[in-house]
Chains A and B, each alone.
Chain A
Amino acid sequence: MVTLQIIPYTEIEGLSSLGRIRKLLNIAKQDKIVLLQGRLAKDEEAELIKVTMEEINKEFSGIELAVIDPSQSSSLSGFDKFKSDFVSLLLGNRVGFTIIGPANVVKSIKKNPNKIELFTGEKGRRAKKN
């Protein structure tokens, strides 16, 4: 069974960068898929990859990550682009959403500007040690 945990942006808003990363990664390490309202800052995304690499071991092989950021959509132009940029300016990183899945559950995430497809595999391929 795949478990999806939805995190509102308010839950990470007051945390430090490392606190945000820790919170999201800890949930993913419990074999849950995280659906975060909003997104991390670009340097936090890089830090998330760095921390993930530091924690890879026999039980945890990493994450699959995807961010939907409507303001970055290449299909927008003219007034729609202006509207999207304006909303982004007002709401900052609350716009869009982020998916973080443990690599042993989420095999791959295919993304194009308009949709995300999540391919899950057999969970817990490797037995967890107590």
Chain B
Amino acid sequence: MISTIKDWFSALFGSFLSSKGDLKLGLYGPPNSGKTTLANKICKDWLGQDMGSVSNIAHETREIQIKEQISIKSKDNKKELFFNLVDTPGIATKIDYEDFLKFGMSERNAKKRAKEATKGVIDAIKWLDEMDAVLVVLDSTQDPYSQVNITIIGNLAARNIPVLIVANKCDLKKANMKKVQAAFPQYEVMGISAKYGRNVKNLYEQLFKLVR
């Protein structure tokens, strides 16, 4: 009898807990906007380990990367949020292997990178439907009106997926937060520097509002 009750409790609350843990928080954005740098910062802060490699060469992340069961706590320690972090390859409308040659890459490696990158973009788009909430990571030194940004955000809105826009690289002189805010006035925009951790704690607080 006791074991039956235990089983019933574990079935009820076990599934509840696992569904909480299955919440998928995606990082989307154009290449080189700092998605993996932010993923690394989140993982370092809450798991003590990195998620993926970063590089100045675009399309360093060419496969979907998932870190499961991340748990973050609010500043007052009263709330806890469980999620699986999904770092996606940067979405682009063009990929030219010759762009990689400029970084001293061999032709063979450049072609391989380009091929993997195209597959990465396709996978990132396919995964849009899987997300429960998304941080759209933009480089605040770049033009926010690019069609890739608008297409990503438009597709998330069409799917009713909660979005927070992260204007990354705000430590750089050329960063223009106001321009990002002006481009997406209907969204919350959070300026951060994932590399130096600036404002990332406030980003964690925003995550609680995003997925409530």
Q: Which A residues contact B (CB, under 8 angstroms)?
A: 42-43, 45-47, 49-50, 52-54, 56, 61-67, 72, 74, 103, 109-113
Contact = CB atoms under 8 A, between A and B. Distances in A.
A66 B155 contact: no
Interface string B92-129: 11111000000000000000001000110110011010
Given A103-B96, A112-B145, A67 B125 contact: no
Q: How large is the interface on B (under 10, 10 to 19, 20 to 34, 35 or more residues)?
A: 20 to 34
B contact patch SS: helix
Contact of B93 (A52, A54, A72, A112): A52
Contacts of B122: 50, 53-54
B92 A62 contact: yes
A42 B160 CA distance: 13
A64 B157 CA distance: 23
The 4 closest A-B pairs by CB, nearest first: A62-B94, A103-B94, A61-B96, A42-B154
Contacts of A50: 121-122, 125-126
Contacts of B126: 50
A112 B183 CA distance: 8
Contacts of A45: 147, 151, 154-155
A46 B151 contact: yes
Given A50-B121, A54-B118, A67 B95 contact: no
A26 to B, nearest CB: 16
Given A49-B125, A53-B122, A56-B118, A67 B147 contact: yes
Contacts of B147: 45, 65-67, 109, 111
Given A45-B151, A56-B118, A74-B183, A65 B93 contact: yes
A72 B147 CA distance: 13
